[in-house]
Amino acid sequence: MKPHLNLLPWKLRCQMLLRQRLWQWCVGWSALALGFAVLLGWRWHGLVRAQEHLSDWQRRASTVQAIDTRNESLRRQIATLTARLGRYGHLESEQIGFQLLATISQSSTFCAGNIQVQKMTFKHVQVADTTVAKDAAPNAKAPPMRDVRKLLLNGVAKDNLAIAQFVSSLRDSGVFQSVDLKSSLGNTVADVGSHTYHVECTF
Amino acid sequence: MSVAQRSMLSFLRSRTGWIGIDIGTHSLKLAQVESVGGQKQIAHALVIPLPAASHLTAESVRTGWLTRALRTALPCFRGRTAACGVSMSVTDFRSMNIPPGSRNERREMIAQELIDGGIATAEAIEFDFWDGNPKEENAAVNVLAVSKSFVTQVAEAIQGAGLNCRALDGSPFTLARSLELMNHDSVVSTPRAVLDWGHRVAHLAIVVDGLPAFSRVLKDCEVGPLVESIAQGLGLSLEDSCELLSTYGVPDPQGTHSEFSEIQELVVDMAAELFDQLTVEVDKTLQYLGSHRPELAPTELVLLGGGAAIRNAEAKLSQEFNLPVMRWQLPLRRMVGMTGRQPPVELFANAAALSDLGCEP
């Protein structure tokens, strides 16, 4: 500043300077707040517009979404049917059915008519995979399961010998993985002894 | 370069100073200086006559006339920063011989001197000082003191009008800057005299290198009594009396007989006592300077204030003082709030110099 005197009292000068600085800060902060408000408003406007666009696109995509949902449902149905087909489809093959009947019939022939198959049931069960379970650590989680098909045979026989021959014949046929005699109960009907058996064949 | 480009360049180069407020005993003068293309000019100027029964005292200012006057004037000016100056009649100017020391030490010594001199108590006055001769170590110190209650009231009145008063300058410095302003901000090393021929006080300052080297209030040389005596003698109002002085004034010593000669002769008769007294006071000052401080003998004198508006005054004074005398001049772009007669630009010298404080050097 150019040379000059200042006869203003020092206290008054300090007060004026303080007031001026406060005013300057006030103006600065107000401008900042205004800028922030403008920015906020602008962003808010953008958000509203984006939401409107989203709603519009959702409305436009509703038919496609319905088709997608239906496709998903159909895909699940197909998966179920495919699984069912994998499980039972091979049974639909007449050759397998005939092969089983032939095997059972052949095995019963070895018993010289001393055994009768009254009921034949096909069952599909899931059992723990013992091969994997043996390799796993003791504290490992539960072993994986695998699908096993079982043929349950119920009937009556003259004696235990006939049942043993029948079971042995089934094993020897090589069709089944294992043949287990689950039960054999002897009883008497009209003074004639007989045995009710229950055999489980895994294949 | 096209007109539009020139206008844009001119706008970019334009710099406006603060609002300069010169509080005189007779009127309030406001001016705002602007720099256009490196040339200073008064952008806006306004004179407000002091209301009747208003004085330059703390009690009078407290009544609110200053705040009201400034509020009415503010819409005509740009910005809200102001610099203020008060008449020499309300200040106490003196020279002191103070031992060398730091600025604070010298300030304390001056305060003690003022108290010992019986001016007032330390709490009642506000003062500032400057070296009479910066090149000399043990030179006298010039001190300007003013009543603290008065400057406080003035500052609060200015603040009450919505202005931020950055400085309350002393008259000697204002005169020195007004001289610089007239010379397009060029500092002249040769001593020059400035006479602020005011309504209630006549103040003479010798300016060297842009600083007031010598300052003196000339006793009984104010122009107010002349205005009042003309008004009384011719049955005019004070405004018409001022108009008569500026329009007809006194006869040109080198001039021929004119159609105004009769009125001019009448005025010069009434102003003879004033011109004589002024000549005596200025001669005394010049003689003192010639014998005690010859390096401050002025090469020319610049006239400003209400007395400078008297037509042919500079020619008459030049003849009396045997020294080139010229009026203070600066281009004036716009006089605001004036419907009739336009006041002379010399009236705004102090206000313009105060406004110039806000312009970058």
Once rounded to an integer, what is the mean pLDDT over residues A90-95? 65
What was the pLDDT predicted at A75? 95
Residue of A nearest to B210 (CA): A3
What was the pLDDT predicted at B35? 86
The residue of B35, B91, B151 whose CB has the most chain A CBs within 10 angstroms, and thus the best one to mutate to test that interface, is B151
DSSP state for residue B38 in the 8-state scheme: T
Helix (H, G, I), strand (E, B) or coil at B153: helix
The CA-to-CA distance between both ends of chain A, in Å, stands at 109
A22-36, A49-63, B49-63, B299-313: least confident range? B49-63
Which carries the bigger pLDDT value, residue B252 or residue A182?
A: A182
What residues of B are in contact with residue A7 (Cβ under 8 Å)?
A: 86, 91, 126-128, 144, 146, 151, 168-170
Using alpha carbons, list the distances in angstroms from residue B23 to A194, B54, B68, B212, B305: 142, 12, 14, 20, 12
**pLDDT band for position A74 (cuts 50, 70, 90):** very high
What was the pLDDT predicted at B189? 78
Cα B329 from Cα A134, distance rounded (Å): 115
* In chain A, % of residues over pLDDT 90: 38
What was the pLDDT predicted at A138? 59
What was the pLDDT predicted at A67? 92
What was the pLDDT predicted at A132? 59
Instruction: Please tell me the pTM assigned to this model.
Output: 0.68
What was the pLDDT predicted at B70? 93
What residues of A are in contact with residue B146 (Cβ under 8 Å)?
A: 7
The whole-chain average pLDDT of chain A stands at 86
What residues of B are in contact with residue A1 (Cβ under 8 Å)?
A: 357, 361
| Closest to B142 (Cα-Cα) out of A3, A2, A5 | A5
Once rounded to an integer, what is the mean pLDDT over residues A23-48? 96
Cβ-defined contact of B167 to A4 (cutoff 8 Å): yes
**pLDDT band for position A173 (cuts 50, 70, 90):** confident
Query: What single string gives the DSSP state of each residue in B84-145?
Result: EEE-GGGEEEEEE------HHHHHHHHHHHHHHTTS--TTTEEEEEEES-TTSTT--EEEEE
How do B211-218 and B301-304 pair as beta strands?
Answer: unpaired
| Closest to A202 (Cα-Cα) out of A147, A156, A159, A158 | A147
What is the tens place of the pLDDT at every residue in A128-167?
877 655 555 556 567 788 888 889 999 999 888 899 999 9
Cβ-defined contact of A3 to B356 (cutoff 8 Å): no
Q: Residues in chain B with pLDDT < 70?
A: 1-14, 119-120, 122, 134-135, 137-139, 185, 256-257, 335-341, 360-361
Please name the member of B126, B130, B356 whose beta carbon is closest to the beta carbon of A7: B126
User: Given CB atoms, is A12 within the 8 Å cutoff of chain B?
Assistant: yes
Q: Yes or no: say if B105 and B97 are a contact pair by the CB < 8 Å rule.
A: no
